[in-house]
Structure 1
Amino acid sequence: MSKVPLTVRGAEKLREELNRLKYKERPRITEAIAEARAHGDLKENAEYHAAREQQSFVEGRIQDIESKLANAQVIDVTQLNAGGKVVFGATVDLVDENSGDEYSYRIVGEDEADIKAGLISVQSPLARAMVGKEEGDIVTVEAPGGTREYEIVGVRYE
Structure 2
Amino acid sequence: MQPIPMTAKGAEMLRNELNELKSVKRPQIIQAIADAREHGDLKENAEYHAAREQQGFCEGRIQDIEAKLSNAQIIDVTKMTNNGKVIFGATVTLLNLDTDKETRYRIVGDDEADIKNNLISVNSPIARGLIGKSQDDVVNIQTPAGAVEYEIVEVEYL
SS in structure 2 opposite 1:107? strand
Q: TM-score, normalised by structure 2?
A: 0.98
CA distance in 2, matches of 1:40, 1:144: 55
Query: 1:150 aligned to 2:146?
Result: no
SS in structure 2 opposite 1:112? coil
CA distance in 1, matches of 2:78, 2:30: 42
CA distance in 2, matches of 1:115, 1:57: 25
- Deviation track 1:80-129 (CA, whole Å, cap 9, x = no partner) reads 22411111000000110000111000000111111111001111111111
Q: How many residues align?
A: 158
Unaligned runs of 5+ in 1: none
SS in structure 2 opposite 1:64? helix
Shift in Å at residue 133 of structure 1?
A: 1.3
Q: What is the identity percentage for the equivalent residue pairs of Structure 1 and Structure 2?
A: 62
CA distance in 1, matches of 2:105, 2:130: 11
Query: Which letter maps to 1:128?
Result: R
What residue number does 1:23 align with?
A: 23
Indicate the RMSD between aligned Cα atoms, in angstroms. Answer: 0.8
SS in structure 2 opposite 1:43? coil
CA distance in 1, matches of 2:53, 2:47: 10
Q: Is the 8 A contact 2:82 2:156 kept in 1?
A: no
Query: Which letter maps to 1:134?
Result: S
What residue number does 2:46 align with?
A: 46
CA distance in 1, matches of 2:144, 2:35: 52
Unaligned runs of 5+ in 2: none
CA distance in 2, matches of 1:32, 1:124: 40
- After the TM superposition, which segments of 4 or more aligned residues of structure 1 sit over 4 Å from their partners? none
What residue number does 2:80 align with?
A: 80
Q: Is the 8 A contact 2:94 2:103 kept in 1?
A: yes
CA distance in 2, matches of 1:89, 1:155: 10
What residue number does 1:94 align with?
A: 94
Question: Which one is further off, 53-62 or 120-129?
Answer: 120-129
CA distance in 2, matches of 1:90, 1:146: 25
Query: Which letter maps to 1:145?
Result: A
